Chain A
Amino acid sequence: MSVKSLATGNRSFSLLAGNTPEHHVLLAETTVGAGGTASVTFSNIDQSYQHLQIRMLVRTARAGQTLDAIKWYANSDTTDSNYNNHDLYGNGTSAGSAYNAGTNIFASFIGYCPATNATASIFGAIVFDLLDYTNTSKYKVSRSLNGYDLNGSGTVSLDSVLWRSTNAITSLQIAPIYGTGFVQYTTVQLYGVR
Protein backbone atom coordinates (compact mmCIF):
# COMPACT_ATOMS: atom_id res chain seq x y z
CA MET A 1 0.00 0.00 0.00
CA SER A 2 1.39 3.40 -0.85
CA VAL A 3 0.79 6.49 1.26
CA LYS A 4 0.78 9.98 -0.29
CA SER A 5 1.90 12.92 1.82
CA LEU A 6 -0.59 15.79 1.69
CA ALA A 7 2.22 18.19 2.55
CA THR A 8 4.81 17.15 0.00
CA GLY A 9 3.01 14.92 -2.44
CA ASN A 10 5.69 12.30 -1.91
CA ARG A 11 4.69 8.66 -1.87
CA SER A 12 5.97 6.27 0.75
CA PHE A 13 4.93 2.83 1.85
CA SER A 14 3.15 1.23 4.77
CA LEU A 15 5.43 -1.05 6.72
CA LEU A 16 3.51 -3.03 9.26
CA ALA A 17 5.78 -5.99 9.95
CA GLY A 18 6.54 -7.02 6.44
CA ASN A 19 4.48 -4.83 4.17
CA THR A 20 5.75 -3.44 0.88
CA PRO A 21 8.54 -5.82 0.04
CA GLU A 22 9.80 -4.02 -3.01
CA HIS A 23 11.65 -1.22 -1.29
CA HIS A 24 13.71 -2.88 1.41
CA VAL A 25 17.52 -2.86 1.27
CA LEU A 26 19.70 -4.89 3.62
CA LEU A 27 22.00 -2.48 5.48
CA ALA A 28 23.61 -4.77 8.05
CA GLU A 29 23.19 -8.13 9.73
CA THR A 30 24.53 -10.03 12.72
CA THR A 31 24.58 -13.76 13.37
CA VAL A 32 25.67 -14.59 16.91
CA GLY A 33 28.44 -17.14 17.18
CA ALA A 34 29.19 -19.87 19.71
CA GLY A 35 30.34 -17.51 22.42
CA GLY A 36 27.17 -15.42 22.45
CA THR A 37 27.09 -11.65 22.61
CA ALA A 38 25.80 -9.16 25.18
CA SER A 39 23.95 -7.03 22.64
CA VAL A 40 23.78 -6.15 18.96
CA THR A 41 24.61 -2.64 17.81
CA PHE A 42 24.28 -1.12 14.36
CA SER A 43 26.34 2.06 14.02
CA ASN A 44 26.68 4.70 11.33
CA ILE A 45 23.22 3.89 9.98
CA ASP A 46 22.72 5.19 6.47
CA GLN A 47 20.55 8.34 6.61
CA SER A 48 19.17 8.13 3.09
CA TYR A 49 16.13 5.89 3.73
CA GLN A 50 12.60 6.69 4.81
CA HIS A 51 12.22 4.03 7.49
CA LEU A 52 14.09 1.14 9.06
CA GLN A 53 12.93 -2.42 9.54
CA ILE A 54 14.62 -4.91 11.86
CA ARG A 55 13.96 -8.64 11.56
CA MET A 56 15.18 -10.86 14.40
CA LEU A 57 15.18 -14.48 15.52
CA VAL A 58 16.41 -14.37 19.10
CA ARG A 59 17.05 -16.33 22.26
CA THR A 60 18.88 -15.14 25.35
CA ALA A 61 21.16 -16.57 28.03
CA ARG A 62 18.89 -15.55 30.91
CA ALA A 63 19.62 -18.20 33.54
CA GLY A 64 16.96 -20.40 35.12
CA GLN A 65 14.07 -19.01 33.03
CA THR A 66 12.15 -19.90 29.89
CA LEU A 67 11.32 -16.28 29.03
CA ASP A 68 13.21 -13.07 28.39
CA ALA A 69 12.37 -9.73 26.81
CA ILE A 70 14.13 -7.49 24.31
CA LYS A 71 14.58 -3.71 24.15
CA TRP A 72 16.18 -1.15 21.85
CA TYR A 73 18.09 2.04 22.50
CA ALA A 74 18.91 4.75 19.97
CA ASN A 75 22.11 6.76 19.71
CA SER A 76 23.51 5.26 22.94
CA ASP A 77 20.69 6.84 24.96
CA THR A 78 20.19 4.18 27.64
CA THR A 79 18.11 6.38 29.93
CA ASP A 80 14.86 4.42 30.24
CA SER A 81 12.90 7.51 31.22
CA ASN A 82 13.35 8.83 27.68
CA TYR A 83 11.26 5.96 26.30
CA ASN A 84 7.64 4.78 26.62
CA ASN A 85 6.08 1.47 25.64
CA HIS A 86 2.55 0.24 25.02
CA ASP A 87 2.14 -3.53 24.93
CA LEU A 88 -0.81 -5.64 23.75
CA TYR A 89 -0.17 -9.29 24.45
CA GLY A 90 -1.75 -12.71 24.44
CA ASN A 91 -0.26 -15.51 26.52
CA GLY A 92 -2.45 -18.32 25.26
CA THR A 93 -4.91 -17.93 28.11
CA SER A 94 -5.77 -14.27 28.25
CA ALA A 95 -5.06 -11.01 26.49
CA GLY A 96 -3.79 -7.95 28.26
CA SER A 97 -2.22 -4.57 27.81
CA ALA A 98 0.45 -2.63 29.66
CA TYR A 99 1.97 0.85 29.64
CA ASN A 100 5.62 1.08 30.58
CA ALA A 101 7.26 4.45 31.19
CA GLY A 102 9.54 6.37 33.51
CA THR A 103 12.32 4.21 34.87
CA ASN A 104 10.50 0.96 34.04
CA ILE A 105 12.96 -1.40 32.38
CA PHE A 106 10.24 -2.26 29.85
CA ALA A 107 10.06 1.35 28.60
CA SER A 108 11.72 0.40 25.31
CA PHE A 109 10.44 -3.19 25.16
CA ILE A 110 9.88 -4.64 21.68
CA GLY A 111 9.21 -8.32 22.22
CA TYR A 112 9.54 -11.58 24.11
CA CYS A 113 11.81 -14.53 23.40
CA PRO A 114 12.87 -17.87 24.91
CA ALA A 115 15.67 -18.12 27.43
CA THR A 116 17.94 -20.83 28.84
CA ASN A 117 15.31 -23.19 30.26
CA ALA A 118 13.19 -23.24 27.09
CA THR A 119 13.34 -26.27 24.81
CA ALA A 120 16.50 -26.19 22.74
CA SER A 121 16.32 -24.84 19.18
CA ILE A 122 13.30 -22.61 19.86
CA PHE A 123 13.80 -18.92 19.19
CA GLY A 124 11.48 -15.92 19.30
CA ALA A 125 10.71 -13.75 16.30
CA ILE A 126 10.50 -9.97 16.25
CA VAL A 127 9.79 -7.77 13.25
CA PHE A 128 9.78 -4.08 14.05
CA ASP A 129 9.73 -0.85 12.10
CA LEU A 130 11.37 2.44 13.05
CA LEU A 131 9.46 5.16 11.27
CA ASP A 132 10.91 8.38 9.87
CA TYR A 133 14.16 7.72 11.72
CA THR A 134 16.00 10.70 10.20
CA ASN A 135 13.25 13.28 10.70
CA THR A 136 14.48 15.91 13.17
CA SER A 137 10.99 17.38 13.63
CA LYS A 138 9.49 14.28 15.25
CA TYR A 139 9.99 12.03 18.23
CA LYS A 140 10.75 8.50 17.04
CA VAL A 141 8.30 5.59 17.13
CA SER A 142 8.75 1.88 16.63
CA ARG A 143 6.09 -0.76 16.25
CA SER A 144 6.61 -4.48 16.43
CA LEU A 145 4.93 -7.81 15.88
CA ASN A 146 6.62 -10.45 17.96
CA GLY A 147 6.24 -13.76 19.68
CA TYR A 148 7.51 -17.18 20.62
CA ASP A 149 5.74 -20.49 21.11
CA LEU A 150 7.03 -23.37 23.23
CA ASN A 151 4.29 -25.91 22.42
CA GLY A 152 2.42 -25.29 25.66
CA SER A 153 3.42 -21.78 26.60
CA GLY A 154 4.36 -18.62 24.79
CA THR A 155 3.29 -15.12 24.00
CA VAL A 156 2.42 -13.10 20.93
CA SER A 157 2.33 -9.32 21.20
CA LEU A 158 2.14 -5.99 19.46
CA ASP A 159 4.26 -3.18 20.87
CA SER A 160 4.93 0.47 20.26
CA VAL A 161 7.87 2.40 21.66
CA LEU A 162 8.31 6.16 21.74
CA TRP A 163 11.80 7.64 22.02
CA ARG A 164 11.30 11.24 23.05
CA SER A 165 14.03 12.73 20.93
CA THR A 166 14.03 14.59 17.64
CA ASN A 167 17.57 13.47 16.86
CA ALA A 168 18.03 11.38 13.76
CA ILE A 169 18.79 7.79 14.66
CA THR A 170 22.36 7.01 13.70
CA SER A 171 22.91 3.95 15.86
CA LEU A 172 20.70 1.26 17.29
CA GLN A 173 21.40 -1.10 20.17
CA ILE A 174 19.30 -4.24 20.76
CA ALA A 175 19.72 -6.10 24.03
CA PRO A 176 18.00 -8.50 26.45
CA ILE A 177 16.18 -6.87 29.36
CA TYR A 178 17.15 -9.58 31.85
CA GLY A 179 19.68 -11.95 30.32
CA THR A 180 23.39 -11.46 29.97
CA GLY A 181 23.20 -11.66 26.21
CA PHE A 182 22.07 -13.43 23.05
CA VAL A 183 22.94 -17.06 22.37
CA GLN A 184 24.36 -18.71 19.28
CA TYR A 185 22.19 -18.66 16.11
CA THR A 186 20.47 -15.45 17.11
CA THR A 187 20.15 -13.39 13.94
CA VAL A 188 19.38 -9.70 13.48
CA GLN A 189 18.97 -7.94 10.14
CA LEU A 190 18.65 -4.20 9.58
CA TYR A 191 16.86 -2.97 6.46
CA GLY A 192 16.44 0.48 5.00
CA VAL A 193 13.07 1.17 3.42
CA ARG A 194 12.69 3.73 0.64
Chain B
Amino acid sequence: MAYTLIATQTLLNPTYGVTFSNIPQTFKDLYIEISGTNSSDGQNVYAQLNGDTGANYSYTRITGNGTAAASSRSTGGTYLVLSDFGTTVNSSKINIMQYANTNVYKTVLENGGIASYRVTAYVNLWRSTAAVTSVYLFSASGNLATGTLKLWGVS
Protein backbone atom coordinates (compact mmCIF):
# COMPACT_ATOMS: atom_id res chain seq x y z
CA MET B 1 0.00 0.00 0.00
CA ALA B 2 1.43 3.33 -1.01
CA TYR B 3 -0.74 5.48 1.25
CA THR B 4 -0.40 4.95 4.98
CA LEU B 5 -2.74 6.57 7.47
CA ILE B 6 -0.52 8.38 9.96
CA ALA B 7 -3.10 10.09 12.15
CA THR B 8 -6.79 10.93 12.39
CA GLN B 9 -8.30 13.76 14.39
CA THR B 10 -12.05 13.84 14.87
CA LEU B 11 -13.54 17.09 16.08
CA LEU B 12 -15.64 16.35 19.15
CA ASN B 13 -15.99 20.03 20.00
CA PRO B 14 -15.46 23.21 17.98
CA THR B 15 -11.80 24.13 17.97
CA TYR B 16 -9.75 26.89 16.41
CA GLY B 17 -6.93 24.68 15.20
CA VAL B 18 -5.56 21.15 14.94
CA THR B 19 -1.91 20.08 14.87
CA PHE B 20 -0.30 17.02 13.38
CA SER B 21 3.12 16.75 15.01
CA ASN B 22 6.09 14.38 15.03
CA ILE B 23 5.33 13.46 11.44
CA PRO B 24 7.41 10.45 10.32
CA GLN B 25 10.06 11.37 7.77
CA THR B 26 9.90 8.12 5.82
CA PHE B 27 7.36 9.03 3.12
CA LYS B 28 7.61 10.89 -0.18
CA ASP B 29 4.55 13.14 0.12
CA LEU B 30 1.93 13.99 2.71
CA TYR B 31 -1.75 13.92 1.90
CA ILE B 32 -4.38 15.45 4.19
CA GLU B 33 -8.13 15.07 3.85
CA ILE B 34 -10.43 17.37 5.75
CA SER B 35 -14.16 16.80 5.78
CA GLY B 36 -16.23 18.97 8.03
CA THR B 37 -17.77 22.32 8.85
CA ASN B 38 -16.81 25.70 10.21
CA SER B 39 -18.85 27.66 12.72
CA SER B 40 -18.68 30.68 10.40
CA ASP B 41 -19.65 30.37 6.74
CA GLY B 42 -17.16 30.70 3.91
CA GLN B 43 -13.94 30.76 5.93
CA ASN B 44 -10.61 29.57 4.60
CA VAL B 45 -8.58 26.98 6.41
CA TYR B 46 -5.04 28.22 7.04
CA ALA B 47 -1.95 26.16 7.81
CA GLN B 48 1.54 26.71 9.20
CA LEU B 49 4.38 24.25 8.79
CA ASN B 50 6.86 23.51 11.58
CA GLY B 51 5.36 26.36 13.62
CA ASP B 52 6.77 28.93 11.19
CA THR B 53 4.86 32.20 11.70
CA GLY B 54 7.20 34.22 9.46
CA ALA B 55 6.31 35.83 6.14
CA ASN B 56 7.46 32.79 4.20
CA TYR B 57 4.26 31.70 2.49
CA SER B 58 2.59 32.59 -0.79
CA TYR B 59 -0.15 31.21 -2.96
CA THR B 60 -1.87 31.38 -6.34
CA ARG B 61 -5.47 30.27 -6.59
CA ILE B 62 -8.35 29.84 -9.01
CA THR B 63 -11.98 30.04 -7.95
CA GLY B 64 -15.34 29.45 -9.58
CA ASN B 65 -18.60 30.53 -7.99
CA GLY B 66 -21.10 29.41 -10.61
CA THR B 67 -21.06 32.75 -12.38
CA ALA B 68 -17.43 33.48 -13.14
CA ALA B 69 -13.93 32.11 -12.69
CA ALA B 70 -11.27 34.27 -11.05
CA SER B 71 -7.69 34.07 -9.90
CA SER B 72 -5.71 35.89 -7.24
CA ARG B 73 -2.56 35.53 -5.21
CA SER B 74 -0.85 36.56 -2.00
CA THR B 75 2.84 37.05 -1.37
CA GLY B 76 4.76 37.21 1.86
CA GLY B 77 1.97 35.63 3.87
CA THR B 78 2.38 34.10 7.30
CA TYR B 79 0.43 30.93 6.58
CA LEU B 80 -0.73 28.63 3.80
CA VAL B 81 -4.20 29.45 2.51
CA LEU B 82 -6.50 26.54 1.68
CA SER B 83 -10.12 26.13 0.60
CA ASP B 84 -13.17 27.57 2.30
CA PHE B 85 -15.24 25.83 4.88
CA GLY B 86 -18.77 26.66 5.89
CA THR B 87 -21.68 25.57 7.96
CA THR B 88 -22.51 22.79 5.51
CA VAL B 89 -20.09 19.91 5.11
CA ASN B 90 -17.36 20.27 2.55
CA SER B 91 -13.94 18.81 1.94
CA SER B 92 -10.36 19.68 1.22
CA LYS B 93 -7.61 17.52 -0.24
CA ILE B 94 -4.09 18.72 0.47
CA ASN B 95 -0.88 17.42 -1.12
CA ILE B 96 2.39 18.45 0.53
CA MET B 97 4.91 17.36 -2.04
CA GLN B 98 8.35 15.96 -1.09
CA TYR B 99 7.84 17.19 2.47
CA ALA B 100 11.04 15.60 3.80
CA ASN B 101 13.29 16.70 0.94
CA THR B 102 15.72 19.32 2.26
CA ASN B 103 16.80 20.34 -1.25
CA VAL B 104 13.50 21.94 -2.26
CA TYR B 105 11.08 24.59 -1.06
CA LYS B 106 7.75 23.01 -0.23
CA THR B 107 4.92 23.21 -2.73
CA VAL B 108 1.39 22.39 -1.58
CA LEU B 109 -1.42 21.55 -4.02
CA GLU B 110 -4.97 21.69 -2.72
CA ASN B 111 -8.50 21.61 -4.03
CA GLY B 112 -11.83 21.83 -2.30
CA GLY B 113 -14.88 23.97 -1.94
CA ILE B 114 -18.34 24.59 -0.64
CA ALA B 115 -21.14 23.54 -2.96
CA SER B 116 -23.23 26.55 -1.99
CA TYR B 117 -20.36 29.05 -2.36
CA ARG B 118 -17.48 28.24 -4.69
CA VAL B 119 -14.95 25.63 -5.80
CA THR B 120 -11.23 26.37 -5.55
CA ALA B 121 -7.75 25.10 -6.32
CA TYR B 122 -4.62 26.44 -4.65
CA VAL B 123 -0.89 26.11 -5.12
CA ASN B 124 0.97 27.30 -2.02
CA LEU B 125 4.70 27.77 -1.53
CA TRP B 126 6.56 27.60 1.77
CA ARG B 127 9.97 29.12 1.19
CA SER B 128 11.92 26.72 3.34
CA THR B 129 14.00 23.67 2.61
CA ALA B 130 13.36 22.28 6.10
CA ALA B 131 11.68 18.91 6.32
CA VAL B 132 8.06 19.25 7.42
CA THR B 133 7.66 17.76 10.89
CA SER B 134 4.39 19.38 11.92
CA VAL B 135 1.30 20.86 10.29
CA TYR B 136 -0.99 23.26 12.15
CA LEU B 137 -4.39 23.72 10.48
CA PHE B 138 -6.62 26.50 11.73
CA SER B 139 -9.64 28.54 10.83
CA ALA B 140 -9.48 32.00 9.26
CA SER B 141 -12.43 32.96 11.43
CA GLY B 142 -14.65 31.09 13.82
CA ASN B 143 -13.87 27.49 14.69
CA LEU B 144 -13.46 24.21 12.93
CA ALA B 145 -16.78 22.91 14.16
CA THR B 146 -17.34 19.31 13.12
CA GLY B 147 -15.59 16.75 11.00
CA THR B 148 -12.48 14.66 10.56
CA LEU B 149 -8.91 15.44 9.54
CA LYS B 150 -6.77 12.58 8.25
CA LEU B 151 -3.04 12.66 7.59
CA TRP B 152 -1.59 10.14 5.17
CA GLY B 153 1.97 9.37 4.17
CA VAL B 154 2.53 8.58 0.50
CA SER B 155 5.38 6.13 -0.03
Partners in one complex: yes
Q: Determine the distance from Cα of A158 to Cα of B28 in the docked complex, in whole angstroms.
A: 23
Q: How far is the CB of A142 from chain B (nearest CB, A)?
A: 16
Q: Determine the distance from Cα of A156 to Cα of B83 in the docked complex, in whole angstroms.
A: 14
CB contacts under 8 Å to A, within B50-82, are 58-64, 68-73, 75-76
A131 within 8 A of B: no
Partner-contacting stretch, out of A4-12, A75-83, A92-100, A174-182: A92-100
Q: Which residue of B lies closest to A184 (CB)?
A: B103
A185 within 8 A of B: yes
A157 within 8 A of B: yes
Q: Which residue of B lies closest to A123 (CB)?
A: B104
Q: How far is the CB of B4 from chain A (nearest CB, A)?
A: 8
Q: Determine the distance from Cα of A16 to Cα of B112 in the docked complex, in whole angstroms.
A: 11
Q: How far is the CB of A91 from chain B (nearest CB, A)?
A: 6
A63 within 8 A of B: no
Q: Which residue of A lies closest to B77 (CB)?
A: A151
B143 within 8 A of A: no
A88-B62, A94-B70, A149-B59 known; A26+B104 contact, CB < 8 A: no
B85 within 8 A of A: no
Residues of B in contact with A, size category: 35 or more
Q: Is the beta-carbon distance between B70 and A90 smaller than 8 angstroms?
A: yes
Q: Is the beta-carbon distance between B3 and A24 smaller than 8 angstroms?
A: yes
Q: Is the beta-carbon distance between B28 and A21 smaller than 8 angstroms?
A: no
A101 within 8 A of B: no
> In the complex, how many residues of chain A place their beta carbon closer than 8 angstroms to a beta carbon of chain B?
47
Q: How far is the CB of A27 from chain B (nearest CB, A)?
A: 9
Partner-contacting stretch, out of B14-22, B40-48, B122-130, B134-142: B122-130
A145-B111, A147-B109, A148-B123 known; A17+B2 contact, CB < 8 A: no
Q: Is the beta-carbon distance between A148 and B107 smaller than 8 angstroms?
A: yes
Most buried by B among A24, A29, A127, A154: A154
A residues with a Cβ closer than 8 A to B are: 16-19, 21-26, 29, 55, 57, 88-97, 121-125, 127, 145-152, 154-158, 184-185, 187, 189, 191
6 pairs of A and B residues whose beta carbons are closest in the complex: A90-B71, A147-B123, A90-B62, A21-B3, A92-B73, A95-B69
B residues with a Cβ closer than 8 A to A are: 1-3, 5, 28-29, 31, 33, 58-64, 68-73, 75-76, 93, 95, 97-98, 101, 103-105, 107-109, 111, 121-125, 127, 129, 152, 154-155
A147-B60, A155-B123, A157-B62 are known; give 7 further A-B pairs, CB within 8 A.
A88-B62, A90-B63, A95-B62, A123-B107, A125-B109, A147-B107, A184-B103
